[in-house]
Structure 1
Amino acid sequence: MKNFILTLLLCMWGCLCGAQKLISDQAVTAQQQRMVFKQWDRDKFSPRPGFLGLNPYYLMTWALHPNYPKTDLRPLGPQGPQTQRIGLALAMASAEQQYKLHSDTLKSEALKKASGYSGLLSDLDPLWQLYYKREFSPLLLAEKNSLDGLSEKERQYLVSSGVYQWYREEQQSLLERLNITRKTTLQRGERLLAYQRLLSEYRALEGTWSAKKRHVWKHISIRQRSKAIEQRAEGMSPRTRSDIEIADRILKHSKL
């Protein structure tokens, strides 16, 4: 019985004596709140100064740190380190975006200039597509035979006289120069001037070739007449005589 009573008393005493006690300090709570999210309010610092600032608890707490209540130490305050870091990060992001836009602008301008210089994109030039490609198409395609529309004698004369070979060599030379101009890296203005010079030479060559084809029959007639005159002259020339015939003729006409 005695043991039971002692055990009961010990249990009751254990229930009344807690191992931990919840402490609610208003100053600590206010400090935690203002350091995280709330306004830095000097009126919420406790303990208060009291009458004439003679509160001993206030002196024990804030006497060694008189500027602490006056200085906003919140990380996310108006001048807090986290606010400055976020502002600096935003400023750096804005500057980076501006640099990126500037670099993209430089890139696009460089690509435009490169497209104007590069020979790989010369066929995309509007002036080439609208004018020069059409003018140089007979030279580039070479689908039509240059001797079409001529008779067999006229063709033979142009080939045998070397006129056709000369025309083909000049045409091939112009074609090679045109391809080099199209593929070489040049300024657009220089490329267009080269196109114009080649076009002038090509038109002059075509004009010369057309004139030779128009007058080819006259050259054939002149050649035929010259051959006929040569043959007639050969028929009218005196026949060569031997020495014996000449001696017999002299003796025959002599008075001896």
Structure 2
Amino acid sequence: MKKSCLIIFLCFLSAVAISQKKITDKHITYQQERMVFKQWDADKFTPKPGFLGLNPQYWITWALHPNYPKTDLRPLGPLGPQTQRLMLAAAMQHTDNIYKLHADTLRNTALSEASNYSSALSFADPLWLMYYRNEFEVLLNQADSDLLAGLSPTEKQYMVSSGLLEWYIEESRALLERLEIARSTTLDRGSRIMAYHRMLSEFRKLSASWETKKSRAKTYLSIRSSARKLRAGEVSKPVSSKSDIQIANDILKKSKL
């Protein structure tokens, strides 16, 4: 009994193995190859027409759609839908890159213009750092108590009483205020640099005038002291022993030399 059951089981397995035989249809294989990766070759369409086109299977298969073998239906073919989608995606990517480049150009231009006009970056201007800051250092760090340094008490009193000190302080403060306005105002960089240049020229003239007034203070005080002594009769006027004609001749001789 057991032996017969084993024989039946083996027969069953043989029948299953035979029933699972791989079926290969060349027509299906050709179609799969054409649709996926291979060339759309009209000569590989089967069944063939046969001798004088008398193959009935050919007419049964292709009679209702004769243009099918001539139409490339591959998704990745030259004009396939997937190829068109890839081309469209590439075109859209190219357009996006152009828009991005344009947007980046506008952004860079806007940043450049903002840095060119913004007063927040005026302190970092290379020309200010390397040149104008050093030239205006005396004006930026000016202390009123140091303006009369090096003068005698009499000369200091004269500079104060004559109003020269007050004049210089007012002029320098006005110039400093203009300088701060030029640095803090939203202004084109070229206009800002030109403002620095004009104010630096004015500051140099003002400083030169102030130094001249300080250096002449001692001379003026000496002349004023001599004049007071003459008016008070403390110093006698020098008497010239030469006549007017001799004095005139001496002047003419000196002018000819």
Whether TM-score is above 0.5 comes out as yes
- Give the aligned partner of residue 64 of structure 2: 64
Code of the aligned partner of 1:93: Q
- Give the aligned partner of residue 39 of structure 2: 39
Listed as ranges, the matches of 1:117-156 within 5 Å are 117-142=117-142, 145-156=146-157
Listed as ranges, the matches of 1:65-144 within 5 Å are 65-142=65-142
Listed as ranges, the matches of 1:149-188 within 5 Å are 149-188=150-189
Aligned-pair distance for 1:195?
Answer: 1.4
Aligned-pair distance for 1:156?
Answer: 2.1
**In 2, Cα distance between equivalents of 1:48 and 1:185:** 85
The Cα offsets for residues 127-148 of structure 1, whole Å up to 9 and x where unpaired, read as 4344433322211233792211
**In 2, Cα distance between equivalents of 1:60 and 1:21:** 28
Aligned-pair distance for 1:81?
Answer: 1.0
Code of the aligned partner of 1:81: P
C-alpha change, 1:119 and 1:4, in structure 2 (3 Å) is closer
Are residues 1:210 and 2:211 paired?
yes
Task: Give the match's secondary structure for 1:102.
Answer: helix
C-alpha change, 1:147 and 1:46, in structure 2 (3 Å) is same
The Cα offsets for residues 180-233 of structure 1, whole Å up to 9 and x where unpaired, read as 11222211221122112212221232232123212323554576678889999x
Listed as ranges, the matches of 1:13-32 within 5 Å are 14-15=12-13, 17-18=15-16, 22-32=22-32
Listed as ranges, the matches of 1:3-14 within 5 Å are 11=9, 14=12
Deviates more, 1:215-224 or 1:113-122: 215-224
Higher radius of gyration, 1 or 2 = 1
Code of the aligned partner of 1:75: P
Task: Give the match's secondary structure for 2:76.
Answer: coil
- Give the aligned partner of residue 191 of structure 1: 192
Task: Give the match's secondary structure for 1:52.
Answer: helix
C-alpha change, 1:202 and 1:51, in structure 2 (3 Å) is same
**In 2, Cα distance between equivalents of 1:229 and 1:223:** 10
Aligned-pair distance for 1:69?
Answer: 0.8
**In 2, Cα distance between equivalents of 1:54 and 1:40:** 25
Deviates more, 1:132-141 or 1:40-49: 132-141
**TM-score in terms of structure 1 length:** 0.75
**TM-score in terms of structure 2 length:** 0.75
C-alpha change, 1:199 and 1:50, in structure 2 (3 Å) is same
- State the superposition RMSD in angstroms: 3.2
- Give the aligned partner of residue 245 of structure 2: none
Aligned-pair distance for 1:82?
Answer: 0.9
**Runs of 4+ with deviation above 6 angstroms:** 225-232
Listed as ranges, the matches of 1:223-242 within 5 Å are none
- Give the aligned partner of residue 249 of structure 1: none
**In 2, Cα distance between equivalents of 1:115 and 1:109:** 10
**In 1, Cα distance between equivalents of 2:157 and 2:9:** 137
- Give the aligned partner of residue 244 of structure 1: none
The Cα offsets for residues 97-146 of structure 1, whole Å up to 9 and x where unpaired, read as 23323333333333333322222333444443444333222112337922
Code of the aligned partner of 1:45: F
- Give the aligned partner of residue 243 of structure 2: none
**In 1, Cα distance between equivalents of 2:13 and 2:134:** 108
C-alpha change, 1:34 and 1:212, in structure 2 (3 Å) is same
Code of the aligned partner of 1:106: L
Deviates more, 1:78-87 or 1:49-58: 49-58
Aligned-pair distance for 1:174?
Answer: 0.9
**In 2, Cα distance between equivalents of 1:141 and 1:90:** 63
